[in-house]
Amino acid sequence: MSAIHIENLVKSYEKGKVKALKSISLDIEEGELFGLIGPDGSGKTTLFRILTTLILPDSGNATLMGLDVVEDFWEIRKIVGYMPGRFSLYQDLSIEENLNFFATVFNTTVAENYHLIEDIYVQIEPFKKRRAGKLSGGMKQKLALCCALIHEPKVLLLDEPTTGVDPVSRKEFWDMLGRLKEKGITVVVSTPYMDEASRCDRIALMQDGQIMEMDSLKNILQKHPQHLYAVRSKDMHRLLFDLRNFEGMKSAFAFGDEHHAVLGKGSDDPNQLFDFLQLKGHEQLAIRPISPEIEDVFIQLMQAQES
Amino acid sequence: MRNIKFLLQKEFRQIFRNTAILRLILAMPIIQLILIPLAADYEVKNINIAVVDNDHSGYSRRLTEKMKASGYFKLTDYSESYRKAEAAIGRSETDIILTIPRGFERDLIREQNTELQLAADAVNGIKAGLGAVYAQQIIVSFNQEIRAEWTNGLSLKQKVPVTISSALWYNAEVNYYLFMVPGILVILVTMVGSFLAALNIVSEKEIGTMEQINVSPLKKHEFILGKLIPFWVLGMTSITIGMFVAYLIYGILPIGSFLVIYTYAALYLLAVLGIGLLVSTFADNQQQATLFAFFMMMIFILMSGLYTPVDSMPEWAQWVARFNPPAYFIRLIRAVYIKGSGFEDLGPEFLITAAFAVVFNALAIFNYNKRG
């Protein structure tokens, strides 16, 4: 049985003017660490809010552990742990008091489920008398995770937990999620960071309220092979323009301090491209083949969707 | 039950940590009770009067002296020129002009009849109205005085066949504070009960903890009770402080029983907490809630009969006042303080307030139930 089953879920805001989710279907297995990856406004938070029973879908249905999000919402609230994108604990209560409060709200005690949060809690325990509002970003994140875990949820939904967190804390956070997965908890994480895809068992690439692709990272990369080249020259601005004028160029976009160029089938000879660019008068030209990453695939899929 | 106990513990902890709110709850009744009755005093003193004396007789001077001696008026000008006095009104130096005509004394003695003119600057309506009334009273008493002198006080009664003697009941000395202070207490309790509660709930929305609670199996009634009870307690505390301050500063104690006041306050707080709850269901942030509270407080205060009697409002406004909870509490607390009314006299107030409590809370719960 899938832990989360979603079928043709549709949700729009402002009387249908803003379509947040355009018929989404997806299945997440029990004990899976699943990533929802997509830019801001792609519908990740709306999906979470439906799954946590905070809002009702317009149509379609969704179940968590076999429980319907509309019909069985009281039961769902007992088995779901939710960490919203914005830090939303009581700023004027201490770490300890927040944790106790949420334990009580879920009819349990901290002692009962301490084994679940121990790894994380020990890191913030020295500050347990400190008010939540006075904690650093990373500590707030850990406290919020503890609070979401304290009732031993079967499904953990984390909405952009690593946004605005420093790289070291981000890495730590994903390590923690890995350990939770080992304990059998189904974890769904949304993130705008493509590089976090490698930490998930499977990912769904979301854009504009739709899922463009869903599989493991490896399979997605295999499914979308690209003749991808990293190109540099002295005049990067003109280079991008010229790249786009090259016949057989599928797409070209700035990527860090290089440009990524995707060549179409049949015209994937980098030497031809090199000659073409040299004719255009580019100096210090360098072209090297690279293997595509998730971000390249995302951009490709996005462009395909737009055209 | 365990949940509610825990919610209350959390709520009180937060309230006691929020020193700004705590200070406000303690200081508000004290400061308001000291300041507002003084500011809202209707007795007008220091009315500037200009006397235009065209007669310069013994009587005209005597009338002027009488005006000065009354304590209400301050003589700013004593001249022969009406035009000069009028110009002083234009400069806001004078509020009232009393014009004494030429031959005032002569006409009064010979023909027993003369005329005086009073002109008041009605830019400040209350000052003009009251000033004119005071001046008339003084003129009437001056009139009686001189007539009594002529007849050696004998024929006064014969000349005035009907005498009206008025008696003020319950508040014989027209103690202004006795009337005002309990009313202000009501406004205080209303603010604590409705708007502090509304702001508190809206702030949970703002910081997102509301959402965290909504995804938990916590029942709606538990959450709502967890919010209502602390502010109910705060409201009862603030009325207690208020009554104590009223006694300490103004020496005011109810003639009736505290039990009536507390029983009613307990019920009344449920009604205003319902209003607060309702506000919190449609305000998304504290700014909206505050602005709405401000607007509502104006209506609550002005339509409650605190300053102006409801009976003198136009018919439609009286209907609005009928749906204004503070109007009932003000009527009740004044009745208990001043007349000593008991439960048996105040049935309607209790019933209507109970209805308010049911309606507002039901509306709030209905509104809160909706899931986007």
- Domains recognised in chain A with CATH numbers: 2-221 (3.40.50.300), 226-291 (3.30.70.2070)
pLDDT at A5: 92
Contact A224, A72 (CB under 8 A): no
Domains assigned to chain B: 12-40+173-369 (no CATH), 47-159 (3.40.1710.10)
> Please, what is the average pLDDT of chain A?
87
Contact criterion met (CB < 8 Å) for A84 and B214? no
In 3-state terms, what secondary structure has residue B152? coil
Contact B40, B180 (CB under 8 A): yes
> Please, what is the average pLDDT of chain B?
83
Contact criterion met (CB < 8 Å) for B215 and A86? no
pLDDT at B155: 53
CB contacts of A93 in chain B (<8 Å) are: 10, 13-14
Contact criterion met (CB < 8 Å) for B6 and A101? yes
Stretch A226-233: mean pLDDT = 86
Q: 31-60 in A: which are within 8 Å (CB) of B?
A: 49, 52-56
Q: Residue B67's Cα: distance from chain center in Å?
A: 30
Q: Which residue of A has its CA nearest to B10?
A: A101
**Is the confidence at residue A223, as pLDDT, over 50?**
yes
Contact A38, A46 (CB under 8 A): no
Torsional class of A16: left (φ above 0), alpha (ψ -120 to 50), beta (otherwise): left
Q: Distance between CA atoms of B48 and B54, rounded to whole angstroms?
A: 19
pLDDT at B170: 67
Torsional class of A289: left (φ above 0), alpha (ψ -120 to 50), beta (otherwise): beta
Contact criterion met (CB < 8 Å) for A105 and B218? yes
Considering only CA atoms, which of B101, B113, B125 is closest in space to residue B44?
A: B125
Q: Which two tokens stand for residue B116?
A: 């005086």
A90 touching B (Cβ < 8 Å):
yes
**Is the confidence at residue A306, as pLDDT, over 80?**
no
Q: Is the ipTM of this complex over 0.90?
A: no
Considering only CA atoms, which of B17, B212, B196, B203 is closest in space to residue A131?
A: B17
CB contacts of A104 in chain B (<8 Å) are: 2-3, 6
Considering only CA atoms, which of A210, A214, A189 is closest in space to residue A199?
A: A189
**Is the confidence at residue B162, as pLDDT, over 70?**
no
CB contacts of A84 in chain B (<8 Å) are: 208, 211-212
Q: Distance between CA atoms of A83 and A97, rounded to whole angstroms?
A: 18
Q: Residue B266's Cα: distance from chain center in Å?
A: 22
Contact criterion met (CB < 8 Å) for B371 and A87? no
**Is the confidence at residue B370, as pLDDT, over 60?**
no
Containing A114, the helix (H) or strand (E) segment is helix A114-124
Q: Distance between CA atoms of A194 and A116, rounded to whole angstroms?
A: 28
Cα distances from B326 to residues B103, B321, B332, in angstroms, run 56, 9, 10
Contact criterion met (CB < 8 Å) for A77 and B215? yes
CB count, 10 Å around CB of B309?
Answer: 8
Considering only CA atoms, which of A225, A181, A224, A211 is closest in space to residue A199?
A: A181
Amino acid at B117: Q
Q: Which residues pair with A263 in a beta bridge?
A: A227, A249
CB contacts of A78 in chain B (<8 Å) are: 217
pLDDT at B174: 59
Amino acid at B72: Y
Stretch A13-30: mean pLDDT = 87
pLDDT at A130: 92
> Regarding beta strands A286-289 and A210-215, do their DSSP bridges make them parallel or antiparallel, or are they unpaired?
unpaired
Contact A225, A238 (CB under 8 A): no
Q: Which of A56, A93, A107 sits opposite B14 (nearest CB)?
A: A93
pLDDT at B372: 42
Cα distances from A52 to residues A27, A64, A69, B70, B287, in angstroms, run 16, 9, 7, 76, 28
Q: Which two tokens stand for residue B180?
A: 């005002």
Stretch A245-274: mean pLDDT = 82
B interface with A, Cβ–Cβ below 8 Å: 2-3, 6, 10, 13-14, 17-18, 207-209, 211-218, 371-372
**Is the confidence at residue B153, as pLDDT, over 60?**
no
Percent of chain B at pLDDT > 70 equals 90
